[in-house]
Amino acid sequence: MMNFSVLNIIGAVFMIFSGLWSFVSYHKHLLNTLLSLEFMMLGIFWLMSLQSLNIGSEIYLGLFFLTLVVCEGVVGLSLLIYIVRSHGNDYFKSFNVLEC
């Protein structure tokens, strides 16, 4: 029988690889790629929190990581809003003729 912590690690690694797979394969919309990046970051945070439980009660690195993930999400969503307002959609096929 597998240990509970091994199942958590397998779940987090599966979460990271499924986010990576969706990032590589479903690249029609910008919103899909941003969601897959956030899914990968949640998997990495899960692994970091599991590791911090093994080491001790040090959570400041996890909070710093979550702060960076939130900032990355805000920048991605602001770029998405800017692109939708300027081009009318978020298709990657329409980005080859970007104008300044």
| pLDDT > 70? residue 2 | no
The string of pLDDT tens digits covering residues 16-44 is 999 999 989 877 888 888 899 999 999 99
Residues 88 and 84: their CA atoms lie apart, in Å, by 5
- Dig out the tokens for 47 from the structure: 């692994």
Could you tell me the domains of the chain?
4-97 (1.10.287.3510)
Q: Whole-prediction pTM value?
A: 0.80
Q: Which residue has the higher pLDDT, 69 or 95?
A: 69
Q: What angle do CA 38, 43, 49 make, to 5 degrees?
A: 120
Write the CB contacts of 13 (distance below 8 Å, at least 6 apart in sequence): 43, 47
Give residue 96's identity as a one-letter amino acid code. N
- The residue written with tokens 């300044």 in the block is 100
- Dig out the tokens for 56 from the structure: 């001790």
* Residues facing 29 on adjacent strands: 91
Residues 26 and 31: their CA atoms lie apart, in Å, by 10
